[in-house]
């Protein structure tokens, strides 16, 4: 990021005047296709898609040198089962049954990859049908077993990835996944976890994506306020009532999924994909709003015990973490870790410095932008009544002190 791009971004957020970034851009009537890597920069992506929060598709030229596209795929473009079995056959993987609805998702089981591939081969021989149902390998954390560098090169457009940067410091599960399954497997209607962005690359195969911009999902709620499981069901086929953006993703192509966009995805062929969820300064406010909504939903669900349960507010936070994977305490630690990794960069910058181009993505100007976004959200966090009920006595630094550090660091940078 260069200084001009940071100025563009800061102006964008000032113009929001407190509105959520995900709900202000005009709804596009099509999804742009980015053809050539050499003519599309990080700044182009940041200004045209990340900040406006709209989807796009990158051509297969962006991934043509990836190792997994060479080693995981046969010359005919099909999954190379022999290679996968040889390298990962005994690894236990999560598998969802697409034929069974469990709430608005699918039940999962775990099995060795070799058993799943055996099922997959039988499914193909059975003309894409099986008494066992339609099974889909989803959310496999392959980076536990194989270096990401051996499989793919992280596109620079997605390099500002706070979510995986934070989880990597904890040495626990990340938000990097492998999906694979036969034609007919699919993911029900949903928005991505924590209102994160996501990117998805087809290593082989084809997918159909159905996108709904933020807010349009409200027209799909039932009388109880629930969202649909399958938007291709007959009652949702009146497209003039529920406009949808449809994308067919070919092998090697990369889809950018914006924050808060509900979507449904179908595999049109035998498909393997790599998927990452990620958060950064551009959608941080969306995540914070989502967490507040999640806590409110938990509080409403257990409201009848509010006056009788000791530490009711603490229990709500515990329930929230079990449902969402994060609560207010961990959200603060997430902000703290990212802030502490950016502050050294910002403190090295004096007024008038770093005016050179930094189009490769991260750099001092991006660090300043990140700190400014953390400071704005943290200022909202520290005055939130539910956060003020969290026991922060052992937090180092204290949230108010961290906010002051951020504000002081920003005060030393070149004003826009």
How does DSSP assign 85-133, residue by residue? HHHHTT-EEEEEETT--BTTB--EEEEEHHHHHHHHHHHHHTTS--TT-
Residues 6+ apart with CB under 8 A from 43: 1, 2, 5, 359
Domain spans, the chain: 27-278, 284-411
Nearest C-alpha neighbor of 22 from the set 365, 224, 257? 257
Q: What are phi and psi of 92, to 5 degrees?
A: -85, 130
pLDDT tens track, the chain, 416 positions = 899 999 999 999 998 877 776 665 677 889 999 999 999 999 999 999 999 999 999 999 999 999 999 999 999 999 999 999 999 999 999 999 999 999 889 999 999 999 999 999 999 999 999 999 999 999 999 876 666 557 899 999 999 999 999 998 987 778 999 999 999 999 999 999 999 999 999 999 999 999 999 999 998 999 999 999 999 998 887 766 677 899 999 999 999 999 999 999 999 999 999 999 999 999 999 999 999 999 999 999 999 999 999 999 999 999 999 999 999 999 999 999 999 999 998 877 655 554 444 444 578 999 999 999 999 999 999 999 999 999 999 999 999 999 999 999 999 987 76
Q: What is the pLDDT of residue 236?
A: 83
Angle (CA) 213-218-222 rounded to 5° is: 140
Q: Which CATH class, in words, describes the domain spanning 27-278?
A: mainly beta
Exposed e or buried b per residue across 392-406, where buried means at least 16 C-beta atoms within 10 angstroms of its C-beta = beebeeebeebbebb
Nearest C-alpha neighbor of 97 from the set 126, 138, 133, 140? 133
> Parallel, antiparallel, or unpaired: how do β-strands 92-97 and 271-278 relate?
unpaired
């Amino acid at each position: 990021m260069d200084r001009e791009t940071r100025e563009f971004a800061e102006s964008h957020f000032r113009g929001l005047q407190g509105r959520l970034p995900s709900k202000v851009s005009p709804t596009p009537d099509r999804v742009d296709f980015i053809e050539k890597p050499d003519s599309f920069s990080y700044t182009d992506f940041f200004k045209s898609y990340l900040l406006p929060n709209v989807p796009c598709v990158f051509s297969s030229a962006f991934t043509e040198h990836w190792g997994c596209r060479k080693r995981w795929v046969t010359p005919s473009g099909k999954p190379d089962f022999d290679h996968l079995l040889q390298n990962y056959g005994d690894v236990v993987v999560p598998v969802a049954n697409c034929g069974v609805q469990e709430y608005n998702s699918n039940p999962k089981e775990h099995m060795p990859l070799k058993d799943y591939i055996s099922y997959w081969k039988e499914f193909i021989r059975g003309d894409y049908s099986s008494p066992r149902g339609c099974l889909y390998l989803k959310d496999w954390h392959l980076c536990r077993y194989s270096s990401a560098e051996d499989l793919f090169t992280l596109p620079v457009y997605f390099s500002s990835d706070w979510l995986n940067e934070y989880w990597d410091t904890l040495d626990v599960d990340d938000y990097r996944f492998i999906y694979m399954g036969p034609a007919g497997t699919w993911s029900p209607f949903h928005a991505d976890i924590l209102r994160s962005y996501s990117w998805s690359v087809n290593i082989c195969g084809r997918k159909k994506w159905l996108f709904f911009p933020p807010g349009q999902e409200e027209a799909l709620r039932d009388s109880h306020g629930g969202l649909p499981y399958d938007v291709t069901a007959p009652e949702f086929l009146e497209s003039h009532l529920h406009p949808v953006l449809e994308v067919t993703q070919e092998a090697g192509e990369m889809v950018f999924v914006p924050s808060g966009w509900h979507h449904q995805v179908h595999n049109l062929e035998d498909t393997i994909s790599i998927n990452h969820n990620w958060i950064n300064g551009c959608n941080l406010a969306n995540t914070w709003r989502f967490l507040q909504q999640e806590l409110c939903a938990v509080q409403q669900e257990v409201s009848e015990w509010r006056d009788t349960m000791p530490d009711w507010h603490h229990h709500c936070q515990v329930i929230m973490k079990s449902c969402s994977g994060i609560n207010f305490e961990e959200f603060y630690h997430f902000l703290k870790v990212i802030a502490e990794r950016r502050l050294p960069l910002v403190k090295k910058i004096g007024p008038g410095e770093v005016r050179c181009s930094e189009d490769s993505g991260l750099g001092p100007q991006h660090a300043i932008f990140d700190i400014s976004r953390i400071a704005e959200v943290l200022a909202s966090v520290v005055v939130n009544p539910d956060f003020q009920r969290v026991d922060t006595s052992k937090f180092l630094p204290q949230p108010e002190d961290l906010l002051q550090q951020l504000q002081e660091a920003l005060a030393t940078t070149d004003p826009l």
